[in-house]
Amino acid sequence: MSKWYPKNGRVIFHVDMNSFYASVEMAFNPELKGKPLAIAGNPEERRGIVVTSSYEARKFGVKTTMPVGEARRLCPNLLVLKPTFERYRTASKEMFKILSEVTELVQPVSIDEGYMDITGCAEQGAPPEIAERIQQKIFTELDLPCSIGIAPNKFLAKMASDMKKPMGITILRKRDLDKKLWPLPIEEMYGVGEKTALKLRKLGVKTIGDLAHHSVLELKQVLGINGERLQNRSNGIDNREVDPDAVHEFKSIGTSTTLPHDTTDETEIRQVLRRLSRKVESRMNNKKVLSRNIQLMIRYYDRKTVTRSKQLHDFIATADELYNAALLQFDTHWNQEPVRLLGITAQDLAEKSEITQQLDLFNYEEYAGKEKLYKAIDDLTEKYGHNPFQKINLPGDSQVTTSFQKDFLDDFKK
């Protein structure tokens, strides 16, 4: 057993649910099993984007973030369902309960994946045996498939869990890097996005092995400190601990939406920005945070995407403040071309309880004048369980956004 549990090392699992949303729907309705299935926010509209798809659909080329129309062209028999968030939340909670029965060192990182540190679990058996028991229990009790990566650190465990899907268990040791990890294309490395991969390929870095042996000085010149970090990871170096308390951490709160049609109509654009601002305000209120940096994302008709952020003098939290900051960014950076997608992200967050607003001669009256209004709204929100003054989302507003992946962590903390 000592060969599995080194004295000075760790044994880390990365548990990754396979095609999670689609698998949950199949577990709920077994008639969907074996059929090409996709989950999308607005199945009947162009702005509907595939959030996940079954493996049967993936065989036809259906991919995450693909427009529903394109997915249906590739797979004419594709079944497209709207997301049912409560099912996913419930399934996620049950999955993490199973992981927590093995060890307290469980770190959720999204609704369908998490890390486990089983270094102190030698009495439960060898890591492959523990992984198989977890996998089978999740499948038997929840009817959901998952893949598990086993490695000495989080990065290698994450890479290992991606190597065999669905229902795979993969061991990735440092001594196996040259055979299992280094031959992979650089785009398949966790932490390397499209833009980073393009920069690396210009340096002649085509595989993860190329990255592992490239000049660290040149990497840092092109990618900054991230260049050295990525090279360390490619060599199997990752000292991050599995931190159950990381579930409490968040760096930004944002949401985005694809417009029903490309538009240059400023009235329509302002309405979208208003709606996005209300969504961000709601999530900031739930987390009891303020923001001092607002980022706006604009995607044009030709898919060209620009993001611009603005550091603010004071912390803000209301929809009006978020809207005004985002609109200023839009007016400054919009090139008058048709807009396809808009997004607003609140960054540089701080908890309300830790912030003391530095009121000066120019904003004191504004804050003082609204103080009673804010208190009245808070009192009504507490009484009714929601903000009675917040506009109800219009039909079609309910769509999958990346925020759902992060918001589920609030459920896990309860």
Domain ranges of the chain: 1-172, 178-234, 250-413
Q: What is the pTM of this model?
A: 0.68
Q: Is residue 234 classed exposed, middle or buried when 0-12, 13-18 and 19+ CB atoms within 10 A define those classes?
A: buried
Structure confidence at residue 361 (pLDDT): 35
Region 325-339: mean pLDDT is: 95
Give the model confidence (pLDDT) of 352-365 as tens digits. Answer: 765 533 333 334 34
Structure-model confidence comparison of residues 212 and 373, the more confident one: 212
β-pair type (169-171, 146-151):
parallel
Instruction: Produce one character per residue of 104-129: b if its CB has 16 or more CB atoms within 10 Å, e if not.
Output: ebbbbbbbbbbbbbbbebeeeebbee
Hey, which residues are catalytic here?
Answer: 113
Structure confidence at residue 367 (pLDDT): 43
Structure confidence at residue 401 (pLDDT): 46
Q: Is the pLDDT score of 366 beyond 50?
A: no
Among 261-275, 345-359, 377-391, 394-408, the range with the most confident prediction by mean pLDDT is: 261-275
CATH for 250-413 (3.30.1490.100, 3.40.30.10, 3.30.2130.10, 3.30.300.30):
3.30.1490.100
Phi, psi of 110 (to 5 degrees): -165, 180
Q: Is the pLDDT score of 313 beyond 90?
A: no
- Would you state the CATH architecture of domain 178-234? Orthogonal Bundle (1.10)
Structure-model confidence comparison of residues 398 and 147, the more confident one: 147
CATH placement of domain 1-172 = 3.30.70.270
Structure-model confidence comparison of residues 323 and 287, the more confident one: 323
Q: Is the pLDDT score of 154 beyond 60?
A: yes
